[in-house]
């Protein structure tokens, strides 16, 4: 379970502390580091991210406003010297709240909490989704072929049907077992074991081709080919 992480903090010393902590945990990878939340927002919109380390007091766009502007939610750990922001942060559904200076034991505890949450999802076999005003349907993970983004909606494609759900692709992907599903594009999350072939920069699933996004390409090919060994 490798987590792609982004650090957003305008204090170089604080960034170095987080980078040092991350380097001690093998399942964490730094996908990007920014001292400006606006630049980070653009990066996150086009790159697969699992976890954000987010400072609050920053110029141009502070951490709270950044979270409000974030269209597709992901796991967030707030890192700040100001305890008064804790309540506001939890209102925005953050994963944890670390007060600076951040000790490694406290950092590790936050990471283990996120891993436990992801493992709970991994051990599930199904979920329920609202597909009509009064209908909530059970969908088994092993029936899903892929999920397609339709802006504020998603299309869940299974072997037996297609379902439109009012939810973002990122949020839905986070509810799927990470060992079985993989984001391959801003518009697609696939069931890894349903891939029939890799053709150029696309995957073939059930007779249809789906393009792999450029920023996802290396991870997608490595993940699929590793499963085939």
pLDDT per residue over 123-163, tens digit each?
678 889 998 878 899 999 999 999 999 978 999 999 889 99
Domain span at 96: 3-122
Query: Exposed e or buried b for every residue in 40-55, given b needs 16+ CB within 10 A?
Result: bbebbeeebbbbbbbb
pTM of structure: 0.64
- Residue 149 belongs to domain with CATH number: 2.40.50.1020
Same domain, 11 and 89: yes
Query: Does residue 109 sit in the same domain as residue 51?
Result: yes
Close Cβ partners of 17 (under 8 Å, ≥ 6 residues apart): 100, 101, 102
Task: Report the CATH number at residue 115.
Answer: 3.40.50.2300
Confidence of residue 121 (pLDDT cuts 50, 70, 90): low
Which one is predicted more confidently, 65 or 108? 108
pLDDT digits (tens, 9 = 90+) for 166-199: 988 888 988 888 888 999 998 999 999 999 999 9
Spatial distance between the Cα atoms of 4 and 149, rounded to a whole number of angstroms: 21
**Does residue 1 carry a pLDDT above 80?**
no
Residue with tokens 């305890």: 83
Indicate if the pLDDT at residue 8 is higher than 90: yes
Q: For residue 224, what pLDDT is reported? A: 86
Residues 93 and 197 in one domain: no
Tell me the two tokens of residue 207: 């007779």
Q: Is residue 174 located within the same domain as residue 102?
A: no
Instruction: State the chain's mean pLDDT as an integer.
Output: 88
Asked if residue 103 and residue 134 are part of one domain, the reply reads no
In sequence order, the 6+-apart residues with CB closer than 8 A to the CB of 89 are 56, 64, 67, 78, 97
Using the predicted structure, report yes or no on whether residue 86 has a pLDDT greater than 70: no
Question: What token pair was written down for 137?
Answer: 């349907």
Does residue 90 contact residue 77 with C-beta atoms inside 8 Å?
Answer: no
Angle at 196 between CA 178 and CA 227, to 5 degrees: 45
Is there a single domain that holds both residue 61 and residue 76?
Answer: yes
Binning pLDDT at 50, 70 and 90, where does residue 5 land?
very high
What is residue 70's predicted lDDT score, i.e. its pLDDT?
A: 79
Residue 13 sits in the same domain as residue 110: yes
Inter-residue contact 6 to 49 (CB < 8 Å): yes
Q: What's the confidence (pLDDT) of residue 229?
A: 40
């Amino acid at each position: 379970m490798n987590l792609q992480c982004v650090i957003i903090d305008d204090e170089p010393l604080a960034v170095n502390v987080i980078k040092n902590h991350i380097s001690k945990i093998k399942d964490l990878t730094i996908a990007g580091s920014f001292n400006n939340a606006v630049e980070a927002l653009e990066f996150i919109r086009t790159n697969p991210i699992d976890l954000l380390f987010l400072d609050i007091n920053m110029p141009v766009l502070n951490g709270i406003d950044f979270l409000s502007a974030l269209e597709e939610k992901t796991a967030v750990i707030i890192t700040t010297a100001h305890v008064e922001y804790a309540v506001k942060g939890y209102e925005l559904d953050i994963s944890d709240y670390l007060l600076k200076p951040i000790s490694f034991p406290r950092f590790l505890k936050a990471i283990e909490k996120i891993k436990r949450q992801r493992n709970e999802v991994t051990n599930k076999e199904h979920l329920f989704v609202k597909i009509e005003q009064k209908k909530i349907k059970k969908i088994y993970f092993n029936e899903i072929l892929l999920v397609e983004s339709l802006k504020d909606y998603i299309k869940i494609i299974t072997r037996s049907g297609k379902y439109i759900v009012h939810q973002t692709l990122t949020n839905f992907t986070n509810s799927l077992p990470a060992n079985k599903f993989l984001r391959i594009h801003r518009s697609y999350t696939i069931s890894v074991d349903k891939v029939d072939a890799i053709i150029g920069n696309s995957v073939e699933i059930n007779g249809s081709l789906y393009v792999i996004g450029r920023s996802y390409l290396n991870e997608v090919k490595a993940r699929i080919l590793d499963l085939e060994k």
